[in-house]
Chain A
Amino acid sequence: MSGYNIFVLVKQVPDQGSKAGINPDGTIDRAKAKRMLNPFDRYALQAALHTKKAYGGTVTAISMGPPPAVEILMEALEHGVDRGFLLSDRRLAASDTLATAYALYKTVLHAGKFDIIFCGLQTTDGDTAQVGPQLAERLDLPQITYCEDFGIENGKVHARRIIEGGIQKVVTEMPVLVTVANSYHPLEYKSFRGAWRVQQLARRQEELKQYIQTIDLDLIGADAERCGLKGSPTIVAWTEKVGEIGGSCTMHEGHSPDEMVHEIIKNTGVREYLVANK
């Protein structure tokens, strides 16, 4: 066995935990916002690296986004990914999930042969969970979404996925696309050596290019008409402020805990729901 060709899709998203770039009215200034690896992709990365460690192979990270997204591919490299592709092209701006899935489909074909594609369950800036399955449809692959356990036995994939109120154990062949739930193992810390190696690499841009390639639509032979706003069947027609509900919160503040709790219990009728005393 020469090992598996493992792909992992990653995305750079604005850091919602950071106050940088958050306007007073709650909107986001993406240019100023701190950037981070989509938190869900950390589980996909862990699944990819674990699969490589357990069964052998190479891990290729693929991302789509503006040039700064190279940061997350560097981060992936530090964690032990072997190579990365960044699809970056202004014509991709305003792509919805379908256009994104098309562009990634062309990127995956460009990146070569694969056995498994791991994706995060969803991104924190879109929250749709659509791109993974839409990519699987383009590639005509079976898919395992909400995957929380993954292994390979006798050349077959064995996985556990979350369903409503339970779990499903499934077996399938490769190639397969897997979206990894956040109940999978968290991403391990990067090794000191891995981080050091990438830091050294970052100083030698020419050498770095052997590991991380930035590509555009022309290079991968993608039809620009199917990307960006033009290739997107949906648009955000308009947005509206979410009205404050009521604003009639009865506040308890500045008193001792027992006083405040007493007031709350007295005024809210919570005792109605208590476990009946036997």
Chain B
Amino acid sequence: MSEETKPQETPAETPLDVSQFCPKGDVLVVAENILGELQPVSLELLGAGRILADKMERNLLCLVMGHEVGDIPQKMIEYGADTVYVADHEELKNYRTLPYRRVLCDFLESLPEPPHTTLLGSTTTGRDLAPRIAAHFDTGLTADCTELDIGPYEHKSKVDPTKIGLYPNCLYAIRPSFGESLKARILGPWKNPQMATTRPGVMIPNAPDADKKGEIIKIPVNLKDEDCRLVVEETIREISKGIKLTEADVVVAGGYGLGTGEGFELIKKLAACFENSAVGASRKVVDLGWIPYQHQVGQTGKTVRPKLYIACGISGAIQHRVGMSKSHMIIAINKDPDAAIFKFAHHGIVGDCYQIIPEMIKQLTENTVKREVEAVVGTH
């Protein structure tokens, strides 16, 4: 970091010279790849980062760390980056906290001034790395944002008079707040980079532009022995475990209303009726051990946007809703007519999952046959 941007002693009445808080820093996106395979969240971050950069008339930078990253840097330009920095090193092949931390910290320190904003994905990698960087630079970090924006903020609180002032370009990091139907805007304009992670599947990537020009710059990797204290013995990708939740066209999800973990047998049966389908779950049932964490949809799980989402025995708390409300068609089944899920589902059935789901499976499988008959009749 070039220089501590900590404000000097200033009388509380005088608004601060805000130019010192909003230097010309750019917007940086930290791209993510697993063994050279680009993670979709990187493109989403570029989409979000481009909007922020354009609003402030700054550049969009992208950092790619890894080994043998192929055409990823070029792709980053096509998806919106102006300059892509590449740290390629054998020791960066697998993601590991300390080597990646070293490269990212060194890179940020090497810039003439710190980026205004630095964005990472709320993935197992981004959530592992971002807090280390924020702590290293004593800067603010907001996790799991669902929206990002740039705007002014006037800080009036006298708790810390050194912070009082009008800040023209602040990162608005917006996320749902705990247990409440509230969205919170979290700000930290006093120190750059202002950091945030965004949930995979939430931000929208730009359409790629093959003609877009940009610069690709290789940066040095200087690791220390202590950075390699942790060794990755093996990376195992789940390949045969069915359709990935985030990529499924149809998600059938179960919640606490199922009453027991065995209810998921029924959920799986219903999901099996659909092509390219997956099983989702609310956090409560994951916490109860009814189904593994990988199936969790919502604030602390995955964000999905399938064509069809069937919520079975899910009450629809905000934490769940943020993970699935953008589904094209939401069908909810719940015993409680006042359940929150009926406020944002498209179709609701008030009833017992154990009556409704078997009936649905029955009719869907029957109807497939019927439809085929109709189709045959129709074409003749």
Contacts and interface: CB of A to CB of B under 8 A. Distances in A.
A98 B236 CA distance: 33
B187 A172 contact: no
A246 interface: yes
A199 interface: no
Contacts of A136: 97, 132
Given A127-B144, A234-B188, A244-B344, A276 B275 contact: yes
Contact of A172 (B139, B231, B286, B287): B231
Interface stretch (A56-64, A67-75, A79-87, A156-164): A156-164
A112 interface: no
Contacts of A197: none
Contacts of B191: 233
A249 B188 contact: no
Interface of B: 34, 39, 94-98, 101, 123-125, 127-132, 134-136, 138-144, 153, 155, 157, 159-160, 172-173, 176-188, 190-191, 200, 229-238, 244, 249-250, 272-277, 284, 286-287, 289, 292-294, 299-300, 307-308, 317-319, 325, 329, 331-332, 337, 342-351, 355-356, 359-360, 363-364, 367-369, 371-372
A277 B275 CA distance: 11
B185 A238 contact: yes
A127 B286 contact: no
Contacts, number: 291
A147 B262 CA distance: 26
Given A97-B141, A162-B124, A168-B232, A245 B344 contact: yes
Contact of B287 (A39, A131, A164, A276): A39
Interface string A96-118: 11100100000000000000000
A143 interface: yes
Contacts of A181: 293
Given A133-B131, A163-B235, A28 B141 contact: no
A233 B124 contact: no
A33 to B, nearest CB: 9
A275 B275 contact: yes
Interface in A150-199: 158, 161-173, 181-183, 186
Contact of A236 (B128, B176, B186, B350): B186
Contacts of B293: 162, 181-183
Interface size class of A (residues with CB under 8 A): 35 or more
A143 B153 contact: no
A257 B125 CA distance: 45
Contacts of B188: 233-235
Contact of A137 (B135, B275, B287, B308): B135
B178 A28 contact: yes
A124 B184 CA distance: 16
B234 to A, nearest CB: 4
A250 B347 contact: yes
A270 B130 CA distance: 40
A237 interface: yes
A51 interface: no
A205 interface: no
